[in-house]
Amino acid sequence: MRADRLLSLLMLLQNRGRTKTDRLAEELEVSRRTVIRDLYALRVAGFPVYTERGPYGGVYLHEDFRVKLTDLTQGELAALFTLGVPAPLADLGMGTEVKGALLKLAAAVPAGRQDVERDVRSRLYLDPNPWHASRETIPALSVLRQAVWEDRWVRATLLRMRQIPVKHEIAPYALVAKGRTWYVVWQRHDGALHVDRASNVIKAEMLEERFDRPPGFDLAS
């Protein structure tokens, strides 16, 4: 966990330049004391982290320390920076990872292109959500996501016609977001393949047993 925070702190310093420790603490959602300890750890590790006191001071990295992204054109950078956090990824709890990836990208952009992100974000904003969107409650989504990644069987309770709950042991192969509606593609022990709304899975318990993903499984099909 601390390694991830140190990397995020380093990327913030690269991206933001001279920054107050209070602002860093707010961005990382930790205390100012923790930020100071982390800055010391970066210095010990050999990173050129400097601090200046005063109203115009702050923490900063030496200007020569920057990773270059020379292979991306300005148009490619502009396309990447139009990305926000898609609603389905936020549903899965992956919004932080997307934000972190874009932050690292912005930190690695050469100095001459630092204005690309700011320029794009001031001109384009992509919001996939309709004005009056209704969101389904999906209590089992986090368990299903983990089971999909780990190929683990799940003991699930699904709602059927007339809201009758039915219990199955399912092998969740994949999750699919169609708009803001999540579906789970799953198979029973007898080999029958099913697709259900993820919101129909009202209870899910991940089991230790793993399943074998069928060779040639084509999720898009």
pLDDT category at 70 given cuts 50, 70, 90 is very low
Assigned CATH class of 1-65: mainly alpha
Per mean pLDDT, which range of 44-53, 85-94, 105-114 is the poorest?
105-114
Q: pTM of the full predicted structure? A: 0.53
Q: What whole-number distance in Å separates Cα of residue 102 and Cα of residue 87?
A: 16
Q: What whole-number distance in Å separates Cα of residue 198 and Cα of residue 75?
A: 38
Which residue, 159, 184, 182, 180, is CA-closest to 170? 184
Q: Where in the chain is the domain with CATH 2.30.30.520?
A: 141-210
Q: What whole-number distance in Å separates Cα of residue 184 and Cα of residue 191?
A: 16
Q: What whole-number distance in Å separates Cα of residue 71 and Cα of residue 73?
A: 7
With a cut of 50, say whether residue 68 has pLDDT above it: no
- For residues 141-180, one letter each, b for 16 or more C-beta atoms within 10 angstroms of the residue's C-beta and e for the rest, the string is bebbbebbeeebbbebebeeeeeeeeeeebbbbebeeeee
- Structurally, at CATH architecture level, domain 141-210 sits in Roll (2.30)
How many angstroms from the chain centroid is the CA of residue 76?
A: 21
Among residues of the chain, what percentage have pLDDT more than 70?
66
Q: What mean pLDDT value characterizes the chain?
A: 79
Q: Is the dihedral of CA 72, 104, 124, 133 positive or negative?
A: positive
Residue partners of 72: CB distance under 8 A and separation at least 6:
80
For 72-91, write each residue's pLDDT tens digit. Answer: 566 666 666 665 556 666 67
For 193-220, write each residue's pLDDT tens digit. Answer: 999 999 999 999 999 999 998 888 888 8
Q: Where in the chain is the domain with CATH 1.10.10.10?
A: 1-65
For 149-208, write each residue's pLDDT tens digit. Answer: 899 999 999 999 888 999 999 999 999 888 778 899 999 998 889 999 999 999 999 999
